[in-house]
A and B are shown apart, each in its own frame.
Chain A
Amino acid sequence: MDALTALCIGAMFGIGIFQLLRRNVIRSAIGFVIVSNAINLFLLSAGAYDGLVPAYANLIGVRSDALPQALILTAIVISMGGFAFVLAMLNIVAARYKAADLDEISELKY
């Protein structure tokens, strides 16, 4: 189960970074969300969660550490705010440049 969790997190990182590097800004923003979630899962598995019981099951010996969950809550809120902010900026960028391709959104040359 540990190996499966690790593989899933790795796959999410891979997919997320692939999407993040796309030229289309909307796909790139979606990649941003996927990477944020991969990080959250990584932090969750940092809390000694062995994947077989609910994250805060009251079993002696397999009890999960609560701190990474608090970290994840904070990270989720921040990444949600960041994503909303990216979408707001994309809205302005799309209106100003009339394009969704990063190659066309590059006037900063001087």
Chain B
Amino acid sequence: MLAAHLVLLPIVVPLAGAALALVFWRRPRAQAGFAFGALLAALASSAYLLYHVWTIGRPVVFQVGGWAAPFGISLVGDLLSATMALMCQLVIAACALYALGSREAATTYPTFYTLLLTLTTGLTGAMLTGDLFNLFVFAELLVISATALTAISDDRLGVEAAFKYFYVSTLAGICLLIACGSLYISYGTLNLADLAGRIAAAPDRPLVGIALAMLAGFFMIKSAVVPFHFWQPDFHATAPTAISALLSSVVVKLGVYGFIRLTTLLYAGQSDGLRAVLVALGVVGLFFGGLSAAGTHNAKRMLAYSTLGQIGYILIAIGWGTPPALAAAVVFAFNHALLKAAMLMLAGYLASRAPVKTASFEVLTGLGKYLPVAGALFLLGGLGLVGIPPLNGFLSKLLVFRSGVEVGDYLVLALAGVGSLISLVYIARAFERIWWQPPADGVKVKPGDQLFAPALLIALSVVLGVWGEPLLALANATAVWLGDPTNYIQALQLVRG
């Protein structure tokens, strides 16, 4: 096998797994086990891809069908793509583990694991592709799988949330198609590396600005940035627990990945305006997400709103755009994915143990008395989200603040500090409500989901908080690569121009 095929494996393994998992649709346990095995194989392949890219020191490129670069579809695994793909598959594998130990009816749906695998394919593919239209195809695969997975939720409002999400996401897809058309009219190519070179050479074609606006709109809807966030809390709170954990942690990172690519590759020279907008929207999101999370009455919804705030930090770092800030954005994205997935699983776990199956604080009040292990995990994860050592959340916030000091943007830094305090308020309030208040008379917990998956993720967060050096080195190397887009462009060996 050639080294170039490595970049194909993280996409093809889950896709083949999805097709094969359908064969076992009459035997749910076999299907679940097979799908989990396929996800682990995909995770191993993306880890090996990252290791390979890291050791050879240049991006791995695969040309689908053997067509040379700007004509065929390229799959490119550089450090950013490979790190993001590894992050996604790690969290998705943990979510599949949670689903294996879950009592939710949705996880026994005959195509649940198939849809989970196609979602993995879409998300990984969108991060590894080097072609704008191919990004659209993978993003649509992701959207349809996520919608179907939420529509089969045990929560009867899941269909309404899925319907809303599908409309908004289709609108995002339309934005991306308009951007594809505009860029194709202007430059006659859809290959990201080729486009980057041509935009840098002739930045004043008439439709370039429209394409930038449409791409920014697409990625903002994908990551639920504030003016486009309205579908997100409903969608993430009503999905089955295993799915809401991955939606709110890794699926929103598609937009983060897109913004990093937009500002460092595609529009590397002309993105000052976009960066200023990202910093502003990040600050707005920080406050909007934090205050909304503090005002909710449902643990899952609180964590969904908290994602808006945490994405705000990443956007601020991308907006600053210096190498340390980009490294901070990558570290923050990675750590937030682990922590938010674990926290949402814990919220779902509490809901599954509650007398009425809901994550509403009214029902959960005082239940913590019977669930001490979940309490310890929730406390650790919550401290991580707030950014208190020794959790990895501290490291990510430290990096963001330090890069901000280097940039000298003290106003935004002060606002980000206040936003961080808001997150302390809502996490502390949730913890106090569930574990410190006495339960209502005669309340008993039911048997429910298993705690393996969130325990695993929290353990990983603690390890990354205490021994963060490898992740930091990786993020710093990624930022160096991002600072010089010519590496990415030359790796594709474009045939013309």
Q: How far is the CB of B132 from chain A (nearest CB, A)?
A: 10
Known contacts A93-B159, A96-B159: does B184 contact A85 (CB below 8 Å)?
Answer: no
Residue A57 CB within 8 A of the other chain: no
One of B99-107, B160-168, B220-228, B424-432 contacting the partner: B160-168
- Contact: A35 with B174, CB < 8 Å? yes
A38-65: contact bitstring with B at CB < 8 Å (1 yes, 0 no)? Answer: 0100110011000000000000000001
Q: Of residues A65, A75, A96, A97, which shows the largest number of chain B Cβ atoms within 10 Å of its Cβ?
A: A75
In the complex, the answer to whether B166 meets A85 with C-beta atoms within 8 Å is yes
Q: Which residues on the A side are within 8 Å of B137 (C-beta)? A: 74, 78
B194 in contact (CB, < 8 A): no
The answer to whether B160 touches A43 (Cβ under 8 A) is no
User: Would you call A42 and B184 a contact (CB within 8 A)?
Assistant: no
Q: Is the CB of B159 within 8 A of A81?
A: no
Q: Assess whether A107 is in contact with B160, with CB atoms less than 8 Å apart.
A: yes
Q: Are A108 and B238 in contact (CB under 8 A)?
A: yes
Fill in one digit per residue for B236-253: 1 if any A CB lies within 8 Å of its CB, else 0.
001000000000000000
- Whole-angstrom distance between the Cβ of A85 and the nearest chain B Cβ: 6
Task: Determine the chain B residues whose CB is within 8 A of the CB of A108 once the complex forms.
Answer: 157, 160-161, 164, 234, 238
Question: Could you give, for residues 68-84 of chain A, a 1 whenever the CB lies within 8 Å of some chain B CB and a 0 otherwise?
Answer: 10010011001001100
**B133 adjacent to A82 (CB under 8 Å):** no
For window 171-189 of B, CB contacts with A under 8 Å fall at 173-174, 177-178, 180-182, 184-185, 188
CB contact list, B120-179 vs A, under 8 A = 133, 136-137, 140, 144, 147-148, 151, 156-157, 159-164, 166-167, 170, 173-174, 177-178
Are B170 and A92 in contact, CB atoms less than 8 angstroms apart?
no
Instruction: Determine whether the beta carbon of B178 is less than 8 Å from that of A89.
Output: no
Partner of B147, one of A71, A78, A85, A110: A85
Q: How far is the CB of B496 from chain A (nearest CB, A)?
A: 14
Q: Give, as a whole number of angstroms, the nearest-CB distance from B189 to chain A.
A: 9
Q: Is the CB of A89 within 8 A of B162?
A: yes
For B133, give its contact among A32, A71, A93, A106 (CB under 8 Å). Answer: A71
Contacts of A107 in B (CB 8 A): 157, 160
Task: Provide the residues of chain A in CB contact with B174, threshold 8 Å.
Answer: 35-36, 39
Query: Is the Cβ of B159 less than 8 Å from the Cβ of A89?
Result: yes
Complex CA distance for A96 and B137, rounded to whole angstroms: 31
Contact of A89 with B185 in the complex, beta carbons under 8 Å? no
Cα distance, A107 to B164, chains bound together (Å): 12
Which of B159, B170, B184 interacts with A32 by CB under 8 Å?
B170
**Which of A82, A96, A106 lies in contact with B170, CB distance below 8 A?**
A82
The answer to whether the Cβ of B306 comes within 8 Å of any Cβ in the partner chain is: no
**Residues from 6 to 48 in A contacting B, C-beta threshold 8 Å:** 28, 32, 35-36, 39, 42-43, 46-47
CB <8 Å contact, A46 and B163: no
Q: Is A100 located at the chain interface by the 8 A CB criterion?
A: no
Q: Which residue of A lies closest to B238 (CB)?
A: A108
Asked whether, in the complex, the Cβ of A106 is within 8 Å of the Cβ of B160, the reply is yes
* Residues A89 and B151 in contact in the complex (CB < 8 Å), given A39-B178, A107-B160: yes
- Complex Cα distance, B168 from A32, in Å, reads 11
Chain A residues, CB < 8 A from B188: 65
Does B360 count as interface, using CB distance less than 8 angstroms?
yes
Residues A92 and B140 in contact, CB atoms below 8 Å apart: no
Q: Which residues of B contact A47 (CB under 8 A)?
A: 184
Q: Establish whether residues B177 and A75, one from each chain, have CB atoms under 8 Å apart when the complex forms.
A: yes
| Selected contact of A43 from candidates B140, B163, B181, CB within 8 Å | B181
Contacts of A35 in B (CB 8 A): 174
What is the CA–CA distance of A43 and B177 in the complex, to the nearest angstrom? 8
Which B residues lie within 8 Å of A65 (CB)?
188
A81 CA to B166 CA in the complex, in Å?
A: 12
Instruction: With A42-B178, A43-B177, A78-B140 as known contacts, state yes or no: A110 contacts B133, CB within 8 Å.
Output: no
Q: Which residues of B contact A78 (CB under 8 A)?
A: 136-137, 140, 173
B298 within 8 A of A: yes
Which of the residues A74, A75, A86, A92 comes within 8 Å of B166, measured between beta carbons? A86
B164's nearest neighbour on chain A, judged by CB, is: A108
**Which residues of chain A have a CB within 8 Å of any CB of chain B?**
28, 32, 35-36, 39, 42-43, 46-47, 65, 67-68, 71, 74-75, 78, 81-82, 85-86, 89-90, 92-93, 96-97, 105-108, 110
A-B contacts, 16 listed (Cβ < 8 Å):
A39-B177, A39-B181, A42-B177, A42-B181, A43-B181, A65-B188, A67-B190, A82-B144, A86-B163, A92-B159, A96-B156, A106-B160, A107-B160, A108-B164, A108-B234, A108-B238
Given contacts A39-B181, A85-B148, A105-B163, 14 further A-B contacts (CB under 8 A): A32-B170, A42-B177, A46-B184, A67-B184, A71-B133, A75-B136, A85-B144, A89-B162, A90-B163, A92-B151, A93-B160, A106-B160, A107-B157, A108-B157
Spell out B's residues near A (CB within 8 Å).
133, 136-137, 140, 144, 147-148, 151, 156-157, 159-164, 166-167, 170, 173-174, 177-178, 180-182, 184-185, 188, 190, 234, 238, 297-298, 301, 360
Q: Which 4 A-B pairs give the minimum distances between C-beta atoms?
A: A46-B181, A108-B234, A46-B185, A39-B177
